[in-house]
Structure formats: C-alpha cells, structure tokens
Amino acid sequence: MIGLLQTGSLPFATDFAVIIITAVLLSYLARLTGQPTIVAYIFTGLVLGPVFLDVVSQSELVVLMSELGLGFLLFLIGMKMRIDDIREILRPIINIAIWQTILQTALAFVVAFALGFTLLETTVIALATVFGATPIIVKLLSDKDELATLPGKIDVGVLIIQDIYLVILLAVLSAESLSNPQEIAVSVGTILLLMGGVGIISYLSARYLLPSLFRAVAEDRRAFFIVGIAWAFVFILGTEQLNLSLEVGAFLAGLSLAQVPYTSELTERVRPITDFFMVVFFTSIGLQLAADSLLAYWVEALIASAALMVGNFLIIFYLIDREQFTPETSFIGSLNMAQVSEFSLVVGALAVTRGFIDASILGYLSLMAIVTMSLSTYLINYNYQIYERVKPYLARFESEEKRDVDLHVYQDHAVVVGYDEIIRTALPLLQEHFGDVVVVDRNPAHAEVHQSADYEYIYGDFKHGEIRSGAGLKRAAFVLSSTVEPDINRILLEEIGDDTVVFAEAESTEDAADLYDRGAHYVILSTALTSEKLTDHLRLYFNESEEFWAVVDSDIGHLRWIRGEFDG
C-alpha cells in the first residue's frame, strides 16, 4: 500500500473508480430520458471537473486512456464500414457527402464569423461542426431497425465519407501550424499518400490474410478477441512510425476488418473495451472545462445550435432531393443528420491541445454538441411521425422523375440459427419457399461451406444484438433455431414480429413447455423424437425382422448421402 501511495497509483485508481461510478449513474438517467450515453459521459466530466465538484483532474493516465478511447472509437467505426452495404447507391452518396461537407462547412463558417469569433477560431469551428454523430445515429437507427432502409443507408454512406474526412482532418490538425497554406497542402498530400499506402496494405490483408487468420482462431474466444485488438495496435504502431496519428491507424485497421465475415462478432467482442475507453475520452473533455470556459459563449452556442440544426437539415434535404429521391427519403434522411456531433469535440480537443484555440471555444463546441445531440435523439426516434405531420407541405417536391432505389432488404425471409447436417438438408426447402435465407452460425469450421453457398451467412453469437439486427430478425417470416440454449430461443421469441413463425429446438420437456408458452409454433424435442424412433425400431426388430433390416439399409444409405453432401 505504501508503494502504491508513493508511485501515485492509488489516486489513479481512485479517479477511475469515481469516473466509472459517476458515468454509470448519469448513463442510467440518460437512458430514462431517452438521451445518448455520450451526453452522459460529457456531463460526467463536467460534474467531476472544475465546473462543479472539481474532484478529478486530468492525470497523465487519464490523458493516455482518453487518447486510446478516440483510437478505439475510430477502430469501431471503421469496422462498421462495409462497402457492400452502400454499393447500390454509392454514386449519389458520394455526391451528397462531398457537397454536404462543403456547404455545411461554409454555413458553420458564416455563423461563427457572424457571432464574432476570430478567423482562426471560425476556421476550426467550421471544420469541427460538419460531422454527423456516427455512433448515435447508427445506434438509434439500429434500435429502430431502420439501418437497412433507403434513408438509413444514405445516412450511413454519408457518415462513412465524413469519417474518412475526419481522419484526414485529425492528421492535419496534428501539424505544427495552420498559418502556412503551402505547408498545409504538403501535409495533406503526404497524409493522403501515406494513407493510400496503408490502405492498400489494409485491402490486401482483408482479402488474403484476415479470413484465414480469424478462421484459425475463431474457436478460441479469447484468442479471437486478442487477435482483433492486436490487429488495431499493429496499424497504430505502423502509422505512428510514419508520423501519422494513432487515429488514422485505428480507423484503417477497423476498415480492413469490416470486409471479412467475422466483423459482426468481433465488433460485439471489442465493444465493451471501446465503451470503457470512450467513457474516459468524453469525460476528459468535460474535465478540461472550467465553468467560465463552458459558459463563455453560451448565448452564441444556443444561437449557433438553432442555426446549424435548421441549416444542416435544409442542406441535406436539398442534396438528397437533387439526387431524385422521393420527398419522404429526403426528409427522413436529412432529419436524422441535423445534429452537431461528438466529433466536433474530438476536433476541438485536439485543436486546444495544439494551441490553435483556447478552452472557451471547446466549451462553445461542447454546449452545441450537447444541445443538438439531445434534440436530435428525439427527432430520430420520432422521424416518421414527424414526417406524417409535414407530409402535406412536401407535396411541392413530388414529381414523376423522383423515385427511390429498390434496395435489397431482407423482408419476409427465413432466419436459421445454427448449422448442422439436419439444417443443411432443410435449407433448400426454406430457400424454395422464402427466397432469402440468412444463416447465423458461430462455428468457424463451416465458414468455407457458407461462403460458397447462395444464402446469406453471418458469423457470430446470436445473443449479440448486432448479429440479430444484421439477420433482419424483426422482419423475418420464419425462424428455425437448431440451438438448445434456452436463452437464445427466448431472446428470438421476444424480438420477432407478430406474424413470424418459429420452429425451435429444446433439450428437455420443461424447456419445450416454456418455449411454447413464449409463443413458439413448433418445438423440436430431440429426446422425445429419439425415444419414439427407438420404440418403433424395436417393434420392427422383434416382429418384422426383414422390414427392420430394410429400414437399416435405407438409413445407412441416407446417412452416406448426407455425409457426402455435408463434406462436399
């Protein structure tokens, strides 16, 4: 204990304990009021820092952990960026994202300059407030099962391009000075060149190395997790050796992992440690602010919040409408993206560290982020209800030329949980009847079989919400569960739609009765079926021996056929 006190480890541990306990309490209050947990983390820093109690300081360990928090946040975001998810609408997304970045930056610049900020402050503010709140938007749309909708895919596509821009911006802000345009141009060119080289390595790894690497370790859950984390640190180390920020390496590491079939499961495994680091990161932003810094520009922050939310909505509505999408898609897609995101704090915190702005500007950005993210949470949760109210006023935007892209969305399909010989024989019938079939399987030995098949395959544990969302469970017409784990079958019975038919398997009569009580339409009780089959075979053996041996020969032939199909 004396050693701990001498080295200062005890205060570090105490700080972390206070931060985590406070964050948990405020996160609970945030959920009760429908607010994103990121807002609770910022308030954690404000409560514990100079603004209120002033009981936690920004120690070296807190700074280090917060830096890792930003890296892991971008690592997680990179893992969500599957290009295949937006390939169908990639061209309009690129057009929307580029012009959105230009127009929203210009709007933020005009608003900040009109409010009296200096040219350098205005520039940083304009660059910081152009992003959508990726974690919040993706989480809320996922909870509402709207990620697969056309507005959801447009928003996610724009966020992907914004996040690439964010990584470049963070690298630029790491430069020594922003006053020399030529130096900035050279810096950006160097960054893009280095990112291109690392990106090529990332692409080649995703294509040739990562699938076999994760297949080799997927059966060992600890090794699976460690390999994923180690992959992030390999890229972090590589980019830092090239004088790029760790955020660039973490983002590119996640981007390479996004293209392999193990991404969803790895995302769920990494999320807890990422959430921990994010708590420290956003808390550290609140710890940087004194009361006078937070409230120095509170009037300007409220004015700017209103101007930017309205302006951002109008800009994105115009850009989506210009791509000839329907007014509903334009309205929903732009309403989801109206906020100033937490990434404004990321950019602002780095700008403070580099000495480009002072803490009062970070306070201004913090207030804007809190206000707009809080309001936009309700806008996203009630987006379609709001649309129905304003729909008559959007009639002027209707035209025969405007139509939405027909995206392939899983609807009225079959979801299969688990995979074995029995499931394999049932799949052709399910495909014939439902067309689309999604198989969720956590056995890596089956990966090659799944990847060569003509159904959708998701590797992972069905207990994880992101896995169920990816399989479109809420929109499925039929679910076949071959697992006897009661927890998994109960979860799927809680989340299915009202008209979904469920066939599930149970290990005992008690579990079977429970599943029927919870709404299962048919429960496969293998023990009961086996005993019934055994009794029938015994009767044949004792009374009709010739028929019995004929059945045995038939069973052996059928087993050989199944084994050949399963192995081949």
* DSSP per-residue codes, 486-534: HHHHHHHHHHS-TT-EEEEEESSHHHHHHHHHTT-SEEEEHHHHHHHHH
User: For the residues 90-114, what does the mean pLDDT come to?
Assistant: 90
Distance CA 485, CA 465 (A): 16
Q: Phi and psi (nearest 5°) for 283?
A: -65, -40
Q: pTM for the whole thing?
A: 0.70
Using the predicted structure, report yes or no on whether residue 9 has a pLDDT greater than 50: no
User: For the residues 203-212, what does the mean pLDDT come to?
Assistant: 78
Give the residue, 297 or 139, on which the prediction is more confident.
297
pLDDT above 70: percentage of residues in the chain: 86
Encoding tokens for residue 123?
């520039």
Distances (CA, A) of 112 to 108, 330, 505: 6, 27, 61
User: For the residues 450-459, what does the mean pLDDT come to?
Assistant: 81
pLDDT of residue 417: 92
Residue 406 Ramachandran class (φ > 0 left, ψ -120 to 50 alpha, else beta): beta
Encoding tokens for residue 315?
């800009």
Highest mean pLDDT among 137-141, 242-246, 316-320, 365-369: 316-320
Encoding tokens for residue 376?
């936009």
Q: Which of 232, 242, 259, 240 is nearest to 73 (CA)?
A: 232
Q: In what order do the strands lie in the sheet with 522-525?
A: 456-459, 437-441, 414-417, 478-481, 501-506, 522-525
pLDDT tens for 27-58 read 888 888 877 787 888 888 888 888 888 887 76
Residue 187 Ramachandran class (φ > 0 left, ψ -120 to 50 alpha, else beta): alpha
SS3 480: strand
pLDDT of residue 59: 64
Q: Positive or negative CA dihedral for 130, 135, 138, 140?
A: negative
Evaluate whether 260 touches 211 at the Cβ level (below 8 Å).
Answer: yes
| pLDDT band per the 50, 70, 90 thresholds, residue 204 | confident
Evaluate whether 102 touches 326 at the Cβ level (below 8 Å).
Answer: no
CA 120 from chain center: how many Å? 34
Which residues partner with 416 through β-bridges?
A: 439, 480
Distance CA 169, CA 289 (A): 23
Q: Phi and psi (nearest 5°) for 563?
A: -60, -40
Distance CA 129, CA 403 (A): 31
End-to-end CA distance of the chain: 63
| pLDDT band per the 50, 70, 90 thresholds, residue 8 | very low
Distance CA 362, CA 369 (A): 10
pLDDT of residue 175: 59
pLDDT of residue 78: 77
pLDDT of residue 3: 40
Scored b (16 or more CB within 10 A) or e, 124-133 reads: bbbbbbbbbb
Please, which residues have CB within 8 angstroms of residue 558's CB and are 6 or more apart in sequence? none
pLDDT of residue 216: 80
Average confidence score pLDDT of the chain:
80
Residue keyed to tokens 């890229």: 235
Residue keyed to tokens 């799944």: 450
Q: DSSP per residue over 9-67, as a string?
A: HHHHHHHHHHHHHHHHHHHHHHHHTT--HHHHHHHHHHHHSTTTT------HHHHHHHH
Q: DSSP per residue over 287-332, as a string?
A: HT--HHHHHTTHHHHHHHHHHHHHHHHHHHHHHHHHTT--HHHHHH
Amino acid at 404: D
User: What's the residue count for the chain?
Assistant: 568
pLDDT of residue 274: 78
SS3 355: coil
Q: Phi and psi (nearest 5°) for 525?
A: -105, 95
Using the predicted structure, report yes or no on whether residue 311 has a pLDDT greater than 90: yes
SS3 410: coil
Using the predicted structure, report yes or no on whether residue 19 has a pLDDT greater than 80: yes
Distance CA 129, CA 345 (A): 9
pLDDT of residue 471: 85
pLDDT of residue 299: 92
Out of 3-7, 246-250, 444-448, 543-547, which region has the weakest mean confidence (pLDDT)?
3-7
237 exposed, middle or buried (CB, 10 Å; 0-12, 13-18, 19+)? exposed
Out of 266-275, 321-330, 495-504, which region has the weakest mean confidence (pLDDT)?
266-275
